[in-house]
Amino acid sequence: MADPVFDQSSSNREASRGYAWWFSGNTFAQAADGDGRPPRQRTIIQHLVSHPGRLTIMYFIVLVVAATTMLLIPPSTPEGETTTFSTAMFTAVSALSTCGISIVNSTTHWTTFGQAVLLVSVQLGGIGVMTFASLITLAINHHMKSTQRLLTASELGTSKLSEIRGVLTVVIGTTMFIESVTFVALFPGLLKVNEGDWRKSLWESLFFAVMSYNNAGFTPDTAGLHVNSWGVGLPIMLSAFLGTLGFPVILNLLKCARGHVPPKRWSLHTKITLSVTFIIVAMSLTWFLLVEWDNPFLFKDADFNTRMRYAMVAAVMPRSSGFDLSWVPQVNEPTKVFMSVIMFIGGGSTSTAGGIRVTTFAVILLICKASFTGHKDINTFHHRIHTNVAMTAVSITSTCLLLVLVSSLSLMLVSGASLTNALFDSCSAFGLGGYTVGVAREDNPAALAILAATMVVGRLGPMTIAYSISRPRSLEAVRYPTEPIVVG
């Protein structure tokens, strides 16, 4: 099927402007009730599916409980190691939110079974996020159609489940495809690094393939081997980069590639996401080349080639993927702050990346541009950004900034960490970056709890905020007069 969710039909246009008080409401039931018929008996599945918001929360709660349990049982931990409840819970949340902050060494603390639990958790977490974002958009489509009386309640009931199957097919299909390509691309390089050990190489290829597209930074190796070889590093980097773009962009690009559509006619969302992503990666690369080039802790005795590889990894990865933790605590203090900002901005909407999302950031910049150039409309690429979208972007940014601030201050209070480190770990948890500079520690359950909460909000927060507040605004019962106030 052609992507049903992100097409440019007019109902969809309405939808993504005002998608989802459904997040908490009973979407389909309301639509059916609107026809004045008595509500029918519904199955539990139908009941859950009509509340994509509740379904998302249910899904993550069930999976966190399951993954924590699996990590706590003996097969997950090798003999001689013990896993505390807070470690298991934190790791489960970290994997399911595809954040990937590790407080134990993933290679030595977990058995292959334990690593498989992480792998499955990350995969289910990633697919979950992409599916639910799509489902919610779908729910709005239904509402739009039903309010236009194009569908009867019974049609709603049947088309609903089939469309959901369609979305799931597209999400899982794309994921599997990209992960398979990454797997195949990684194998030769890993086989070389592992000196012909094909069993180990197969497992590591699978692990890296899943971790990279889902942007979770768990690694099955301790040496950061992917940084030391282009053959391993490049497929991981590309896959992680695709993962940060988000589902609508990938689908739009695929569709445009099939139809030989020129870049000029890509969707506005694609254009904005790609250009901001490009700018951020270029800025990161420049920063690392300028500020970290002579860092002796980072590049001791390294040649030009190795330095470039490190700088490229450092530019692409922190946005969301969080691979190779080893070098992070050794960067300069200003670089930590810079990385925090990059992680806070995060990746593309409805992707496995986190943060406020690049589109949100872009809208804030566009508001400034419009103001400074004296324009009333917020224009970009010959299109106007709707005021509701602008207000939503401001709300998401302000709320998330407040969240990161509160989280950082709390971490400083409970762990005595410096602001740089507390901010870094907060942004890493919120933006699902996956790096840590040591504030997340096994022996500090309070800090772990704060970071786990930040991760959950980082995973569901901006999405929830966007969905719940970008509902089509009602006309005001009373419209108040304006009165000028002086700002600035």
Contact partner at residue 427 from K ion, its own copies, none, CB < 5 to 8 Å by partner kind: none
Smallest CA-to-CA distance from 76 within 65, 86, 88 is with: 88
Asked if 58 touches its own copies (CB under 8 A), the answer is no
Contact partner at residue 142 from K ion, its own copies, none, CB < 5 to 8 Å by partner kind: none
What is the per-residue binding string for its own copies in 418-437, x denoting contact by CB under 8 A? xxx--x--------------
Category of 357 on φ-ψ map: left (φ > 0), alpha (ψ -120 to 50) or beta: left
- Residue from the set 94, 408, 426, 444 that interacts with its own copies by CB under 8 A: 408
Q: Which is nearer to K ion, 212 or 273 (CB)?
A: 212
Q: Which is nearer to its own copies, 77 or 392 (CB)?
A: 392
Q: Which is nearer to K ion, 25 or 217 (CB)?
A: 217
Q: Could you tell me which residues come within 8 angstroms of residue 312 by beta carbon, excluding any fewer than 6 positions away?
A: 237, 285
- Residue from the set 57, 72, 409, 453 that interacts with its own copies by CB under 8 A: 409
Which residues from 263-292 bind its own copies, rule CB under 8 A?
267-269, 272, 291
Give yes or no for a contact between 347 and 272, defined as CB atoms under 8 angstroms apart.
no
- Interface with its own copies (CB under 8 A), residue total 88
- Residue from the set 68, 83, 102, 392 that interacts with its own copies by CB under 8 A: 392
Contact partner at residue 15 from its own copies, K ion, none, CB < 5 to 8 Å by partner kind: its own copies
Question: Given the structure tokens 């050990």, which residue do they identify?
Answer: 197
Burial track 21-35 (b if 16+ CB lie within 10 A, e otherwise): bbbebebbbebbeee
Distance CA 244, CA 250 (A): 10
Q: What is the dihedral of CA 66, 431, 279, 229, to 10 degrees?
A: -50
Question: Given the structure tokens 């996956």, which residue do they identify?
Answer: 434
Give yes or no for a contact between 432 and 426, defined as CB atoms under 8 angstroms apart.
no
Which residues from 327-386 bind its own copies, rule CB under 8 A?
333-334, 336-338, 341, 349-350, 356-357, 359-360, 363-365, 367-368, 370-372, 374-377, 379, 382-386
The least CB distance from residue 257 to its own copies, in Å, is: 20
Binding site for K ion (CB under 5 A): 100, 215, 217, 322, 432, 434
Asked if 295 touches its own copies (CB under 8 A), the answer is no
Q: Which two tokens stand for residue 302?
A: 């390294």
Q: Which is nearer to K ion, 249 or 432 (CB)?
A: 432
Element (DSSP H or E) covering residue 257: helix 247-258
Q: Which is nearer to its own copies, 48 or 57 (CB)?
A: 57
Q: Which is nearer to K ion, 122 or 139 (CB)?
A: 122
Asked if 9 touches its own copies (CB under 8 A), the answer is no
Q: Could you tell me which residues come within 8 angstroms of residue 63 by beta carbon, excluding any fewer than 6 positions away?
A: 92, 96, 121, 124, 125, 128
Which residues from 21-40 bind its own copies, rule CB under 8 A?
21
Asked if 479 touches its own copies (CB under 8 A), the answer is yes
Q: Could you tell me which residues come within 8 angstroms of residue 118 by beta carbon, excluding any fewer than 6 positions away?
A: 91, 95, 106, 110, 218
Stretch binding its own copies (CB under 8 A), from 7-15, 46-54, 145-153, 299-307? 7-15
Contact partner at residue 267 from K ion, its own copies, none, CB < 5 to 8 Å by partner kind: its own copies
Q: Which two tokens stand for residue 451?
A: 């970071």
Q: Which is nearer to K ion, 102 or 146 (CB)?
A: 102
What's the number of CA atoms in the CB half-sphere (13 Å) around residue 202?
4
What's the number of CA atoms in the CB half-sphere (13 Å) around residue 52?
29
When CB distances to K ion are compared, the closest residue is: 434
- Residue from the set 405, 438, 443, 446 that interacts with its own copies by CB under 8 A: 405
Q: Could you tell me which residues come within 8 angstroms of residue 66 by beta carbon, excluding any fewer than 6 positions away?
A: none
Q: Which is nearer to K ion, 204 or 324 (CB)?
A: 324
Contact partner at residue 360 from its own copies, K ion, none, CB < 5 to 8 Å by partner kind: its own copies
Give yes or no for a contact between 243 and 212, defined as CB atoms under 8 angstroms apart.
yes
Asked if 44 touches its own copies (CB under 8 A), the answer is no
Which DSSP letter does residue 347 get? Answer: S
Asked if 16 touches its own copies (CB under 8 A), the answer is yes
Distance CA 405, CA 35 (A): 47
Backbone torsions φ then ψ of 420, nearest 5 degrees? -55, -50
Asked if 112 touches its own copies (CB under 8 A), the answer is no
Contact partner at residue 434 from its own copies, K ion, none, CB < 5 to 8 Å by partner kind: K ion
Q: Which is nearer to K ion, 52 or 100 (CB)?
A: 100
